[in-house]
Chain A
Amino acid sequence: MTTISGASVKNIVVACEAGMGSSVMVAKQLAKQLKAQEVSVTHSPVNQLTETEHDLVLCHRGLGSRAKQAVPDSVVIMFDMFLGDLKIAEVVSKIKSGDDISDD
C-alpha cells in the first residue's frame, strides 16, 4: 500500500491503453472538478507512465496491475466506471480536504 496526502497532490496522470480515449475523458472531467485546487491532470498510455511526472495515478481496474507494475512507488487508484465513479469522487474530495489517499 502506498499513501500520499491529498494536500500534496499537484499532478495527476490518468492512464489507459492508448492514451487517446477513456483516459482523456476521465482527465478532462477531473481537471474541471479540481480547477480551484490548481491540480494539473494529464493522460498517458499505461506503457509510458514511467515517463510522466505525477503524484497520483488513476486508471481503470482492468489496467491496474500493469500500472502498478510500471510505477510501483506511486499511489495508483483504480476505478470501475468512466462516468460518475465513486472512487474518483472520493479522490476529489480527499484532495479538497487534504486527507490521506492510499491505494489497495
Chain B
Amino acid sequence: MTDLVQQAGIKLDATASSPEEAVDICGKLLVELGAVTTAYAVAMWEREQIFPSAIGMGFAIPHGTDESRSHVIFDQLVFLRFAKPIDWADDEVTCVLGIASQGDGHVELLGNLAELIQDQDKLAILQQSQSPEEIAQLLLG
C-alpha cells in the first residue's frame, strides 16, 4: 500500500497567483502520482468555488466533491508550499494540502494536521523546512 503522503507529492517551491492555479497544481500532481483521474482534478476546482477550503493559519485543504470520490484510484495527499501568499477568499494561504480520498482513509491525517498547525514549533517546520522527508513524516504523524 502506498503511503498517504509521498515525497514526490511534496513541492516546497510552488508558484501560483490564484486559488484556481494552486488547486490546478494540486490536481495535476495527484493525476501525475496516479492517485486520481483528471475528472477528480476538475471536481476539486468545482468544489472550491462552492465553498473555499482555506482553514486559517495560512492553510487550505482543497478536495473534490462527494460525487467525485469515484474518480479516486487510491487515497493520497499532496503538500504544496508557495513562496508568495495567495489571496484565498478572506484568507492568505501559503500551504496547500490537496486531498484525494475514497472513504475515511485520510481522517487521522487531517486530525493530525489540525493539531500540527496549532503548535507553533511544528507549524514552523511545515512553513520553513526544506526537507520533503521531514514534512512527510510530520504529516503522517
Tell me the A residues contacting B by CB distance below 8 Å: 16-22, 24-26, 28-29, 32, 45, 47-48, 60, 62-63, 81-84
Contact = CB atoms under 8 A, between A and B. Distances in A.
Given A24-B110, A28-B111, A83-B118, A18 B64 contact: yes
A83 B117 contact: yes
Interface residues on B, range: 20 to 34
Nearest to B51: A17
Contacts of B111: 24-25, 28-29, 32
A12 to B, nearest CB: 15
Contact of B113 (A25, A48, A63): A25
A49 to B, nearest CB: 12
12 contacts: A17-B50, A17-B65, A18-B65, A19-B66, A20-B106, A21-B53, A21-B110, A24-B104, A24-B107, A29-B111, A60-B51, A83-B114
Contacts of B106: 20, 24
Contact of A83 (B53, B57, B99, B104): B57
Nearest to A20: B63
A49 B55 CA distance: 22
Given A21-B53, A22-B53, A22-B55, A28 B66 contact: no
A19 to B, nearest CB: 6
Contacts of B69: 20
B94 interface: no
